Amino acid sequence: MTAAGWRRLEAHLADFIWQHPDWPRFRWSADRLLPAVADARFLHGRLIGTMAAAGLATRQQAELTAATDDAVATSAIEGEALPPASVRSSIARRLGLPDDGLTPRDSRVEGVAGMVLDATRNCRQPLTVERLFSWHRALFAVMRPSLEAPIDVGRWRTDARGRMQVVSATYRGGKTPRVHFEAPPADRVAAGMKRFIAWFNGDAEDLDALLRAAIAHLWFVTIHPFDDGNGRIGRAIMDMAIARAEPPGGQRFYSLSSAILRQRRGYYAALEQAQRGDLDITPWLLWFLQCHQTAVRDAERTARRVIEVARFWPSVEPVNARQRKALAKLLDEWEGLMTTRKWAAINAVSADTAQRDIADLVSRGVLVPNRKGGRSTGYVLAGPLGPASPVSQEASPSEAKRGG
C-alpha cells in the first residue's frame, strides 16, 4: 500500500482527531466562514463605537464587569462557583480601580483573576511553558475538596493514574460510562505543546484573530496537557489570541466565557464533534463565531443601557427624593408596571402622595400610563429605557441581507 493509502486507512480508523496522520493540520471552508466573520467584526466594531460615546468611568466599570464575569463564568463552566464580590474586588485591585472594598482575599479567586487579566492585559508577551505552568499553579494553589485524587501542579500530566479521558458517569441510564474524549498519551504532550506554542507565538497575518482563537482553544484542550484546569487555561489562551488583535492596552467590554456558560451543552457538544471528526473543523469555528456574536450583543445591550441611564438622570431633574427612589427601582430591571400602591410601599407614604409624585412625572413625559384609569393604572418609563421602546440596534450585514 502506498504512503497516501496508509494515511487514508489511519484516518478512517482514528477515533479522535489527534490520531489522524495529518494532525494538527486543520481544515475549514473559508466560504462558509466569511459571513460569520464579517458579522462578528461588524458587531465588535459597533460595540467599540458605543463605548467610545461613554465616559471614562463607564468604560472602566464595563471592563471591570466583563473581567469579573469572565473569571466567574470560566470557573462555573467547570462546576466551580466563585463568589462574584471577591472576584470583582480582586480584579478591581489589579486594574487600579476603587472597587476593592473590604472583601477578604480568596486564593482560588486570586488565581483565576490573575490568569484572566494576565492573558488579556499582557497578551503580547510570548506564551511559554513556564507561563502556562504559572497559570496552573495559580489555579491550584488551593486544592478543591471535590478532586478525586491529588493532581500534578505546574507540570505536564504523566497519566500515572491511567489514560486521560473525559467520561460521563453513565450513558442513557446504563452502567457503562461513555468516553466523550481521550487525550493523546502523556509521552506526546511535551512535543505537542512545543509545536502548539510555536504556532501560537508565530505570525499568522492571514488568519482572522477570532478563527485563531477558536483553533487555539480546540488544539490546546485536545492535547489536554494538564491533569486538571485545561478548560480554564484553554479559554484564557482563547482570550489572549483575541486580545492580540486589539489595540495595545485596549479594554475588553464583553465576556466570551459568560456566553459559553449559557450555552455549555452546545459548547461541549461542538468540541466533542470536532475532536471526534476529521480535521475539517468548520462546524466548530462557526459555533465559536456565533458564541462570540452572542457575547458582544449582550455587552452592547448592557453598554447602551448604562449610557442611557447616565443620560436619564440629568434629563428628569428636578425630582424629589421619593421620585428618585422609585425611578431607581424602575431602572433596576423592574418587572411589570409601577402602580400607585407600589410607589407608596417603596416610599412608605400615602397613596395620595404617591399619586401626586407620579402625576408630576407623567405631565413631564417621564412616565407613561397604561390605558386603565384611577389608582389601578400602571406606569412605565418613557423613551429608550421603557419596555415598549428598547434601545434600538442596527442589523449586522448578513442580518440585513436576510431581512432580519
205-to-125, 211, 236, 307, 380 alpha-carbon distances in Å:
17, 12, 21, 35, 50
CATH code at 319-404:
1.10.10.10
Please say if 180 is a catalytic residue: no
Contact 27, 279 (CB under 8 A): yes
Tell me what pLDDT residue 147 has.
Answer: 55
- The candidate with the shortest Cα–Cα distance to 65, out of 249, 331, 298, is 298
Q: How far apart are CA 89 and CA 70, in angstroms?
A: 14
Q: Given the DSSP bridges, would you call strands 378-381 and 338-339 parallel, antiparallel or unpaired?
A: antiparallel
Instruction: List the Cα angle 155/157/162 in 5-degree steps.
Output: 160
Q: Count Cβ atoms within 10 A of the Cβ of residue 326 and give its class: 0-12 exposed, 13-18 middle, 19 or more buried.
A: buried
3-state secondary structure of 379: strand
pLDDT value for 101: 53
Amino acid at 250: G
Identify the pLDDT of residue 378. 92
In the chain, where are the structural domains located? 14-305, 319-404
Within its chain, how far is the Cα of 142 from the centroid?
Answer: 24
DSSP sequence for 302-369:
HHHHHHHHHHHHHHH-S--HHHHHHHHHHHTT--S-EEHHHHHHHHT--HHHHHHHHHHHHHTTSEEE
Among 44, 136, 217, 224, the active-site one is: 224
pLDDT of the residue at 281: 97
Domain 14-305 class in CATH: mainly alpha
- Rounded CA separation 27/281 (Å): 6
Ranges of the chain whose pLDDT falls below 70: 1-14, 99-104, 143-149, 169-177, 204-205, 249, 333, 371-376, 388-404
The CA-atom distances, in angstroms, between 67 and each of 237, 255, 261 are 15, 7, 14
- Whether the Cβ atoms of residue 260 and residue 243 lie closer than 8 Å to each other: no
Helices (H), 53-144: 56-77, 84-95, 107-121, 129-139
User: Is the pTM of the predicted complex or chain greater than 0.85?
Assistant: no
For 4, 73, 232, 261, the CA distances from 80, given in Å and listed in that order, are 46, 9, 11, 12
User: What pLDDT does residue 307 have?
Assistant: 83
The amino acid sitting at 9 is L
Question: Given strand 338-339, what is the order of strands in its sheet?
Answer: 338-339, 378-381, 367-369
Distance CA 7, CA 265 (A): 33
N-terminal to C-terminal alpha carbon distance within the chain:
53
Amino acid 268: pLDDT: 95
C-alpha to C-alpha distances, 63 to 120, 124, 253, nearest whole angstrom: 11, 19, 5
Q: Which residues are annotated as a binding site for ATP?
A: 228-235, 267-268
- Asked whether this chain's domains 14-305 and 319-404 adopt the same fold, the reply is no
Tell me the C-alpha distance between 218 and 268, whole Å: 11
